[in-house]
Amino acid sequence: MTREILLDFVLEPGTGKALEVRKGQILRLEQIDGGQCLDFNCFNLHDYKEYFHAGRTRTLHGLHPTKGDFLWSAPPRERAMMFIAADTAGANDVLFPRCSANLYESVYGYCTHTNCQDIQAESQREYGLTPDDVHDSFNLFMETGVDDAGRPYITRQTSKPGDHVDFLALMDVLAVPNICGADVMRTSNFSLKPARISILQATEADLDAVPVLPVWRTQRTVADFRQQRIKADRELRRDSTYVAEFVNAPIRTTTVEVPLDEDEQALLDQLKRSDLYDDDGAALRDILFSWWEEEQLAR
């Protein structure tokens, strides 16, 4: 079955666009000339406080999410917002933050320069959002890595005309793509180029290809919040009626005796981290939970 094209246009350098993408629709971001980075953000269309979170996505899918991965919202929501249904270039990044006016002034000496923070802010303004509502982006067609010294780096683009990423919306979202403004670095091979933006209706095959995710009790909604009202002013003032009600507090601990025979004690002596722990109980706890953690993450 052919996907129905609902919207199709060219996004020019220096600009972005806030787009309503409904659940079951696909947002395609496509190279025209090749070699152009795009920044991307999204919000829950019905609650802008739920938004794409680079950190959670990075934790679950690594530094370079690609086809088959999800875009996750920030804690405490932590829901899959969009599914990467296609990625022909395989070069995305969730390590670097968006570029900003201050970056170009403080590092490069430009008092005026196009940048992702300002483009995102202007695009989102159409829906009443402020520059403070811009958050770290999903960087499409951006080739990055970490060197041996632990420093992140950006290298040159290899995307070609026609390369594209398809995001399938798992909820109604406000999607905000923009042409990255970085023309004085390798991000887009030292130039700015347009990109094609399309919204398509997903087919049944597209929807069936999305892995079924469990629904966790700890994926909290506004109904779970003790404070549900969004502040209308900017100044922070202490609530004189506040009484702390921390979740799962106070923390209680229980001492568990673990008898070891001679062979088990010898194995503990062999495996324990004497550089970290000066008692066998703490060393055994580390060994047990290190094993348990590996088992859980391998599932």
> pLDDT tens digits for the chain (299 residues)?
799 999 999 999 999 999 999 999 999 999 999 999 999 999 999 999 999 999 999 999 999 999 999 999 999 999 999 999 999 999 999 999 999 999 999 998 999 999 999 999 999 999 999 999 999 999 999 999 999 999 999 999 899 999 999 999 999 999 999 999 999 989 999 999 999 999 999 999 999 999 999 999 999 999 999 999 998 888 878 889 988 887 778 878 899 999 999 999 999 999 998 898 889 999 998 998 889 888 877 76
Q: Are residues 161 and 284 in the same domain?
A: no
Q: Are residues 62 and 180 in the same domain?
A: yes
**Residue 45 lies inside a defined structural domain of this protein:** yes
| Residues 30 and 128 sit within 8 Å (Cβ to Cβ) | no
| Residues 149 and 18 sit within 8 Å (Cβ to Cβ) | no
Q: What angle (nearest 5°) sits at the alpha carbon of residue 155, between those of residues 150 and 159?
A: 135
Identify the domain containing residue 89 by its residue range: 5-212
**Residue 221 lies inside a defined structural domain of this protein:** no
**Residue 240 lies inside a defined structural domain of this protein:** no
Residue after which a domain boundary falls, among 176, 193, 212: 212
**Residue 252 lies inside a defined structural domain of this protein:** no
**Residue 222 lies inside a defined structural domain of this protein:** no
Q: Are residues 149 and 64 in the same domain?
A: yes
Q: Are residues 274 and 136 in the same domain?
A: no
How far apart are alpha carbons 218 and 133 in whole angstroms?
24
How far apart are alpha carbons 126 and 136 in whole angstroms?
19
The domain tally of the chain equals 2
Q: Are residues 287 and 184 in the same domain?
A: no
Q: Are residues 15 and 103 in the same domain?
A: yes
Q: Are residues 139 and 271 in the same domain?
A: no
**Residue 241 lies inside a defined structural domain of this protein:** no
Q: What is the pTM of this model?
A: 0.87
Q: Are residues 140 and 283 in the same domain?
A: no
Helix axes 280-297, 262-271, angle to 10 degrees: 80
Residue after which a domain boundary falls, among 212, 236, 252: 212
Q: How many CB atoms lie within 10 A of CB 213?
A: 12
**Residue 239 lies inside a defined structural domain of this protein:** no
